[in-house]
Structure 1
């Protein structure tokens, strides 16, 4: 058999800040869920991991505008037509769905960012009427705090678990088809055709992410401290 004329080569798709975000959010969601179920003294872990989730989401929203090429939202915002073509297996070559997030993966990213944002917001103003209140609970009415608590402890957490479960199922499905989605999120690289544009992931980008992370941490600390004023 003749060798392939243009064999795939490793291309940097996921920059380091995106990879760290991904695995940090996964760990944070796990800690939030377990500590919330344990209750008691573990609630301090729940609050702290919630603040971390807050910061991670804000970081990702900003990084989606200034991060590496395939981490930017502009690279994986698909219209209904692109989604339909993907589901029918007729995606156009120019849509480059094999590089970053495909249309279904795009939906998963935006859905998870959205629901985690809502979960963080409701946690900040929650009041379980027992021993735990969010740092901003006094800025809303009692009825709003109770509604937020009901969502936070009920539908909100289960929607997140559902989305995470679908994400894991998708990874398994693609693995069975011969596509490893997990390894690139560790290494950052995917084997892709020559000429595929790569994400910038050098020292400049990493320093920029570090500065952004510091700004986001300061912002989260300021928001949380408002409840102590």
Structure 2
């Protein structure tokens, strides 16, 4: 195989291990994965009490991630990875070279990945908020249950189902992108989200990390907000 063959395996990248994803970001990611799976299973088994609990915990996590995206570590902040639509389009056009093997030098999310994060968070927020209303409406617990007109209540129920299908489609697309990057470009996007680290050249500075105490404070705020909404929505 010729050295310049685009399908040739990459040599081990030179550099030093850098923490690109902090512990709070990684924990949010994997807890969200587990809770979405729990929500799916409990809905299929009609265990609606457990389904509602999973939704409330997901809402608390989403609130945390929104706060962490504003004040957290550098790679978790929205302003660090939210590129313009034009930049995301240019990145997707670059994928015509999908099978070109090259080292992964991206510190955080790439431009297209940033928009995927925003899409997933939006779908999770809409799904969990609409789920809270549906649960309160069924149990007649929420103070708004008796005040919302029937057509609007039916629309919220339909939206909850629609957002769930859209969320599953977005998750499938996300997983497919990770698999394609691994198979075609030789870039393992999964390991850094597990370990937090990847090898980067010395010329690329390590991203700034926010203190864990701040993450705990924001998690408490997210949990309190979710609990209040569950009681009063």
Scaled to the shorter chain, the TM-score interval is: 0.7 to 0.9
- Alignment-derived partner of residue 8 in structure 1: 15
CA distance in 2 between partners of 1:78 and 1:97 (Å): 17
Find the residue that maps to 2:94 and give its secondary structure.
coil
* Higher relative contact order structure (alpha carbons within 8 Å, sequence separation ≥ 6): 2
- Alignment-derived partner of residue 93 in structure 1: none
Distance change (3 Å), C-alpha of 1:65 and 1:30: same
- Alignment-derived partner of residue 229 in structure 2: 223
Work out the number of aligned pairs and report it: 212
Once the two structures are TM-superposed, the CA of residue 137 in structure 1 deviates from its matched residue by 3.1
Q: Is contact 2:141–2:231 with CA below 8 Å preserved after alignment?
A: no
CA distance in 2 between partners of 1:137 and 1:172 (Å): 43
CA distance in 2 between partners of 1:17 and 1:165 (Å): 23
CA distance in 1 between partners of 2:60 and 2:206 (Å): 27
Q: Is contact 2:19–2:197 with CA below 8 Å preserved after alignment?
A: yes
Once the two structures are TM-superposed, the CA of residue 128 in structure 1 deviates from its matched residue by 10
Q: Is contact 2:23–2:196 with CA below 8 Å preserved after alignment?
A: yes
- Alignment-derived partner of residue 191 in structure 1: 199
Distance change (3 Å), C-alpha of 1:37 and 1:88: same
Question: Structure 1 length normalisation: TM-score?
Answer: 0.84
Once the two structures are TM-superposed, the CA of residue 77 in structure 1 deviates from its matched residue by 1.0
Where structure 2 has 5 or more consecutive residues not aligned to the other structure, the ranges are 1-10, 96-103
Taking the TM superposition and a 5 Å limit, the aligned residue runs for 1:1-229 are 7-39=14-46, 42-89=47-94, 98-126=106-134, 135=142, 137-153=145-161, 155-176=162-183, 177-201=185-209, 205-226=211-232
Distance change (3 Å), C-alpha of 1:126 and 1:172: same
Question: Structure 2 length normalisation: TM-score?
Answer: 0.82
Q: Identify which range, 118-127 or 207-216, moves more after superposition.
A: 118-127
